[in-house]
Amino acid sequence: MPNTMPSSKVDVAIIGGGPAGCSAASWLHQLGLSVVLIEREPQLCAALQTLQFGQDWVLGAPGQNLATLGQQYARHIESLAAIQVLLGRSSNHLDWSAAEGWRLQLDDGRGLNARTLILATGQKPLRPEAFFPTGAAPNARLMDALSLTACREHLPAGRILLLGGGDNAVENALFLQARGHQVTLWSRSDWRAQQGLVERLQAQTSGLSLRPRSAMPSRLSADDQGVSVQSQQFGAERFDHVAVLLGFEAEPSAWLLVGDALQRAGVTAPSHPFRDEPRFAPLGLFVAGDTSGRQHPSVQTALGDGVVAAKAVEAFLRPLGEGQPSPALRRNNRQIIHISGLRFGANLGVLDFEREGPQPIQVDAEVNLGAQMVVSRDADIGHVLDYRRVRAIIIDECTAEHTDLLEALLGKLCTRLMKLPGVAGVRIKVTKLEIFPDCQVAISAECGQW
């Protein structure tokens, strides 16, 4: 049985009990930190319960449906008595202070102090106001991504319009067409789905009407028998069902509370669209799973994100020790090796006199080592990239053989330097110092991350 009586003070509060929140909770528990997991639905992994179809995305669980996997995750968390799980609960007010961390007001009136907060609230389908006006009664014939997924296996074959051109829309079009529906797929842009899906779509000869690059309908109006669709391009049309599959956005509820709390504390609040950002970590705020705006949302990536968030929380709560800088200062954003004004003779160029022998060049280079500890672990050169090595590689690459084009030399230098351990990006500039009597000529290049 889950522990449902929260202590008033914990190390970590997690809002959202999907795969990301559950994964973070399990890791935090193993790291010996106290955790409250707050889920607004009456069960953990609630969003997975409508996903009853077999899927192959989760390694080790081929053909398994996500509803079953979600139940397994929930059972695992509920078996860990030390994790306090609050089901059917949410927070309706948050406060933040540098000294105390996060203060959560729960919707049952209880309060809770947490030194850190993880947002794992997932995302929700986009429901444009034009198609789902506020206050309009829901109609089963006009669906979003979630309601279509919940009923698509049992939908009686008929005329169905899908609005959207991404993976979700194209995959549903193929699924429904294969079940005998007359599918119209309508996208405002070119197909944005993965190539394999688009190829399958374009190979279909019947049951599918494709409308790429078409302005969206101006009006959808659903009744008991079907949905009337009005558009400038296609006039008035009638479908049995319409599904709006225009993408997803971060579930805003907890983000908005965080934004309000930070604004009251005088800290720049997260901006919309909500995304995970490194600047949140010094506030003891961490983000995991789909709500982080990650590139490839899936159960597996959400589980991984939960682990990363748990380790980031641990690093925040357990600094390296006395004399170490605070978590906010422990890492800089980027460390760069600069080599400036390195001059030597190189065999370079296509002009006749350039082929006669080396000419003087100057190389300026920046090597991006990415985020590094502000205070280095120790003085051991083995832990850092030795700049003598960078200098030697530049000279070696420029003098080893004759190179006709400066551009080719830049390419060779970038390739060699990018292979060095820990190098995230290279900027390099090569200057021919004496090519003309009245000027120098240089070309620069940039590769990797900057």
Ligand X SMILES: Cc1cc2nc3c(=O)[nH]c(=O)nc-3n(C[C@H](O)[C@H](O)[C@H](O)COP(=O)(O)OP(=O)(O)OC[C@H]3O[C@@H](n4cnc5c(N)ncnc54)[C@H](O)[C@@H]3O)c2cc1C
Q: For ligand X, which stretch binds (CB under 6 A), given 44-52, 277-285, 308-316, 320-328? A: 44-52
93, 106, 112: which is closest to 258 by C-alpha?
93
Q: Which is nearer to ligand X, 285 or 413 (CB)?
A: 285
Q: How far from chain centre, in Å, is Cα 289?
A: 8
Question: Closest approach of Cβ 290 to ligand X, in Å?
Answer: 4
Instruction: Specify the residue for token string 């929260």.
Output: 6
**Among 51, 229, 287, 365, interactor with ligand X by CB under 6 A:** 51
CB of 83 to ligand X, least distance (A): 15
Residue with tokens 């607004």: 40
Q: Using CB under 6 A, which of 3, 231, 253, 362 touches ligand X? A: 253
DSSP string, 56-107: --STT-TTEEHHHHHHHHHHHHHT-TTSEEEET--EEEEEEETTTEEEEEET
Longest dimension (CA), the chain: 87
Q: What is d(CA 11, CA 443) in angstroms, rounded to the nearest whole number?
A: 53
CA dihedral 191, 192, 196, 202 (to 10 degrees): 0
Please pick, from the candidates 58, 198, 369, 424, the single residue that binds ligand X as defined by CB under 6 A: 58
Least distance to ligand X, CB of residue 124, Å: 8
Q: Of 55, 68, 105, 399, which one interacts with ligand X (CB under 6 A)?
A: 55
Binding mask 5-24 for ligand X (x = CB under 6 A): ----------xxxxxxx---
Give 296 or 419: the residue with its C-beta nearer to ligand X: 296
Q: Which of 11, 78, 290, 397 binds ligand X (CB under 6 A)?
A: 290
Contact 255, 270 (CB under 8 A): yes
The span from the CA of 371 to the CA of 121, in Å, is 28
152 binds ligand X (CB under 6 A): no
Q: What angle do CA 196, 198, 202 make, to 5 degrees?
A: 120
Beta partners for 427? 366, 446
Task: Identify which of residues 90 and 187 has a Cβ nearer to ligand X in the complex.
Answer: 90
Kindly state whether residue 299 participates in binding ligand X, applying the rule CB under 6 A. Answer: yes
Residues touching ligand X, count (CB under 6 A):
37
Which C-beta is closer to ligand X: that of 51 or that of 185? 51
Binding mask 302-341 for ligand X (x = CB under 6 A): x---------------------------------------
Q: Decide if residue 298 touches ligand X (CB under 6 A).
A: yes
Asked if residue 172 binds ligand X (CB under 6 A), the reply is: no
Name every residue whose Cβ is closer than 8 Å to that of residue 416 and which is 6 or more positions away in sequence: 393, 397
65: which 2 tokens? 């449906």
Q: How far is the CB of 41 from ligand X (least distance, A)?
A: 5
Q: Does 101 bind ligand X (CB under 6 A)?
A: no
Q: Retrieve residue 412's tokens.
A: 């060779």
- Chain residues in the site for ligand X (CB under 6 A): 15-21, 38-41, 46-48, 51, 55, 57-58, 66, 90, 120-122, 145-146, 149, 251, 253-254, 289-291, 297-300, 302
